[in-house]
Structure 1
């Protein structure tokens, strides 16, 4: 979720509607079964790291992806701040598309029941307007599916059909805050109220307070009611809600929002309890909106399995989007030793909280995007692709970065490029699980080797980030098993090169990436 929003609560509580008792009913039903429901924990033949390192995540803002059932089109409007009609059925209808582009996991925005009415607020620009909870992050009921998306049966159908196609599903959850329409938040400011102690009362996080960890944890993000997770009743409630979704929907993991807004002690206990219930292979992938590797690593050490690689998000944007030196990438890779397992990090180019890559890339944007994709898909980690990236979907700051998926717009060259990259990840174990070893860095060119010990599965990525042709003769790493005379083909085109004197000589066009694997290309260099 976005780190700061201006004046969210301006006019927010114009009226509070009567809240249904669905949350309490579902919670009581779950509690009554809690002692008899067996743990869903499963043991996988592969270690968790190997299991998840094989994945390619495709991130979907459900409301903006595909409208498969117009019967649930409540409050749908031609307005970027309103509901647009996307739903679970729409995702079901597009599972073959998702599989075809090479994704193996989908992450969907929170399916929990959100507020039913809009409120007037200024999200920047000095204009008051109606804002709707189409994105899913303003819960009023942790124990119900939002009616705009479908129901629990439809969600189960989505997950079952995704599994049948070999696609895993991550559900997005939030434990930091609730919406003002949540029944427990209605009376949150009354010291005599039943749920007063469920909430922090330290005011909103101001723009000058983002460097203060205490205020980030205890303040109100976008002025939303901020839960006090140190209260045992709140912790119990959040864990029960999480287990309810695992029990009811049977996802493969959670993407967890706003990690750094909740204290480390919570994450240590929560990670342990959820893994004990759902199994060690149940993924806990956290959003730590922070560009410092050590800060991300601290939450993984608490027990999360992974975080999104925000440090590399900023580097990818600078290097490939703005043409800065690739040495920045090499410097950041030097920090990989702070992570328990850097291969579990999830690199990404953009998402729903930041402008899309093409928005800031300027001229020659598609070629810059291709470089970023080639890097992200062959570097260490579990790559995440934001829906629409594969067709070059543009978009500025929120909500423009959440445009509807343009199903009638094609960009065959870019989509095929993405498919080639997802294919190399699937077909070469070294890219998914192998070591990453730098081969070259300067202010124009960056190169690295992925190896797992078998020379036939080694992959070499070479990227020219400059606006001119570049040729480099690059020494093959001593750790590589490639011998002189080995022919290499570029999977992104039809050219090839030869290993000679334990080196490769590569010529790249402006803004070109080449990904080499062992094999003979149509335009190969002949053996001497």
Structure 2
């Protein structure tokens, strides 16, 4: 009797749990990824043995972060839902080249970061967690102290020293010396071969999954055509992420045609920052960037990076609360077409101005509210194919209150973001969403059932909800029948217990 009661009680619990039919993702696509972007030297010091010339009090010096430190924090990154990591350059750098962009040797790791063996371990440990690894590969210039610079036989490897005065002049971009660094001449066949061979060598040697390419628009398109073809032969689905110069408006399409899979768009980033740093801003300026095209699905969605003032600074300047603004911004990044790329420290709302202030050390001893939120929306993005592969349609937009839907193979997600200073009520019609169903909120657990062919959403200020449209739960006949049956069994069970005790007393 007890066993039967327990069985039916378990059945009751199971039948009362709402669930929606999961849509499976076929294969793995880069648009399904979410990337945690790390400046190696500023993330975590895991090996003090390589702390040569380290000064953690000076943002222009090495601060101690290394490969071992990243390995130690892979679970931390993975548990937030990130599926990839992106690292600043790992190559041997000149003195104080903490950022990795002053390359002195393309075939060695920097001694401050660790050995190539430790880096190989990092990649293996990431792959064990089904995480991909992208590293910056510098192609535009080298350090002023690079041996090539003083080698008379390699003078043809560089352009003549000249400043860039017009950042929209492609010839000046390709030939000019950025920040006074010797500019490589990629039109020289020897230079092109050297860079491509080095890029292929690192793939073979370490099994990395992609390269991010700083100053991609400062290098000729002809080089990228050859580079992309050659490196992609080394590994299936190898990913090339182009990073444009911030102060240029060069078109992106030509680099996609040359084989660059995805490109940082700082113009879009500027619109994101303007819209999301404060409340009551229309989302309409962002719409042209969420069209249903492959470049849109692969576009990096980011709020800041190692070249930008931290988004937290924008928020503070607007006298807003960083936690609320970051939650709103991250919800938008994670639920619109594109690959979210989150700069280390975002999860603690790290602040910072211009370089190097935006490259402060990570702090792991801090409150977890924003970490928990990233974990939640990261989990939803990994579970719902509609958020990474679905079409996108705006259903409502009024001065900071926006509702849109993503649809993929029958799965419909509805995202409601209230970026206003007041609670908002939105009515969606049967023309916008299939009638006779319900929306189940996955962030706060809100359930909205259709009434009179309408869905009425109530969203508090500074709040967001991610809904999945499902069949109406209504009255659960199975649940009611199970309850009645359990109560009957419990009554019979108690009746026999009482009767048995009475018989024992009589005896």
Q: TM-score, normalising length from structure 1?
A: 0.80
1:397 aligned residue: 354
Check conservation: 1:290, 1:296, Cα contact below 8 A. Answer: no
- 1:20 alignment counterpart: none
Q: Deviations over 1:357-401 (max 9, x none)?
A: 111112222211111000000111111111111122222211111
Query: Contact 1:114/1:137 (CA < 8 Å) preserved in 2?
Result: yes
Aligned to 1:104: 83
Aligned counterpart for 1:253 among listed residues 210, 213, 222:
210
SS in 2 for 1:285: strand
Q: Relative to structure 1, is the Cα distance of residues 525 and 490 closer, same or farther in structure 2, using a 3 angstrom cutoff?
A: farther
Q: Report the CA distance between 1:469 and its aligned residue.
A: 2.1
Tell me what 1:122 maps to: none
The partner residue of 1:429 within 363, 382, 385 is 385
- Match of residue 54 from structure 1: 32
Stretches of structure 2 that go unaligned for 5 or more consecutive residues are 1-24, 477-507
Query: Which runs of 5 or more residues in structure 1 are unaligned?
Result: 1-44, 118-131, 188-192
Q: Secondary structure at the match of 2:362?
A: coil
Task: Decide whether aligned partners of structure 1 residues 291 and 371 sit closer, same or farther in structure 2, where only a CA change above 3 A counts.
Answer: farther
Give RMSD over aligned pairs. Answer: 2.4
Q: How far apart, CA to CA, are the structure 2 residues paired with 1:525 and 1:291? A: 56
Work out whether 1:232 is the aligned partner of 2:189.
Answer: yes
1:211-270 superposed Cα distances (whole Å, 9 cap, x missing partner): 222211211111110001111111011101111111211101111111011111111111
The aligned residue for residue 203 of structure 1 is: 162
Normalised TM-score (structure 2): 0.83
CA deviation after TM superposition for structure 1 residue 154, in Å: 0.3
Runs of 4+ deviating beyond 6 Å: 291-294, 524-527
Instruction: Give distance in 2, aligned partners of 1:417 and 1:263.
Output: 42
Give the superposition deviation at 1:325. 2.0
Alignment of 1:367 with 2:324, yes or no, is yes
- Once the two structures are TM-superposed, the CA of residue 507 in structure 1 deviates from its matched residue by 2.0
Which residue of structure 1 lines up, in the alignment, with residue 333 of structure 2? Answer: 376
**Aligned twin of 2:98:** 134
1:164-199 residue CA offsets vs partner (Å, 9 max, x unmatched): 111111111110000011110125xxxxx2111111
Query: Which residue pairs with 2:276 in the alignment?
Result: 320
Residue of structure 2 in register with 1:438 after alignment: 394
2:352 is the counterpart of 1:388: no
Q: Deviations over 1:101-128 (max 9, x none)?
A: 001111111110001x3xxxxxxxxxxx
Q: Report what 1:512 is aligned to.
A: 463
> In 2, Cα distance between the equivalents of 1:204 and 1:143?
29
Name the CA distance, whole Å, in 2 between partners of 1:309 and 1:166: 28
Q: Is the CA contact 1:89–1:154 (under 8 Å) kept in the aligned structure 2? A: yes
Secondary structure in 1 matching 2:211: strand
Matched-pair contact (CA < 8 Å) for 1:291–1:314: no
* 1:137 shift after superposition: 0.8
SS at match of 2:145: coil
> In 1, Cα distance between the equivalents of 2:304 and 2:180?
25
Distance change (3 Å), C-alpha of 1:290 and 1:475 = farther
Q: Label 1:369 to 1:173 Cα distance change in 2 as closer, same or farther (>3 A).
A: same
User: Which deviates further from its counterpart, 324-333 or 92-101?
Assistant: 324-333
> 2:452 & 2:173 partners in 1: Cα distance?
55
Contact 1:497 1:525 in 2 (8 A): no
For residues 328 and 435 of structure 2, what CA distance do their matches in structure 1 show? 28
> SS in structure 1 opposite 2:234?
helix
CA distance in structure 2 between the partners assigned to 1:265 and 1:212 by the alignment: 17
Aligned to 1:80: 59
2:196–2:231 Cα contact (<8 Å) kept: yes
Query: Which residue of structure 1 lines up, in the alignment, with residue 257 of structure 2?
Result: 301
**DSSP-derived class of the 2:268 partner:** helix
Q: Is the 8 A contact 1:496 1:525 kept in 2?
A: no
Does the CA contact (< 8 Å) of 2:167 and 2:248 recur in 1? no
Cα deviation, residue 402, structure 1: 1.1
Question: Which residue pairs with 2:303 in the alignment?
Answer: 349
Equivalent residues in 2 for 1:443-462, closer than 5 Å:
443-454=399-410, 457-462=411-416
Structure with the largest fraction of helix: 2
The whole-number CA distance in structure 1 between the counterparts of 2:174 and 2:431 is: 45
Q: 1:211 to 1:432 in 2, by over 3 A?
A: same
- Name the CA shift for 1:515/1:293 in 2 (closer, same or farther; >3 Å): farther
Rounded Cα–Cα distance in structure 1 between residues aligned with 2:262 and 2:405: 23
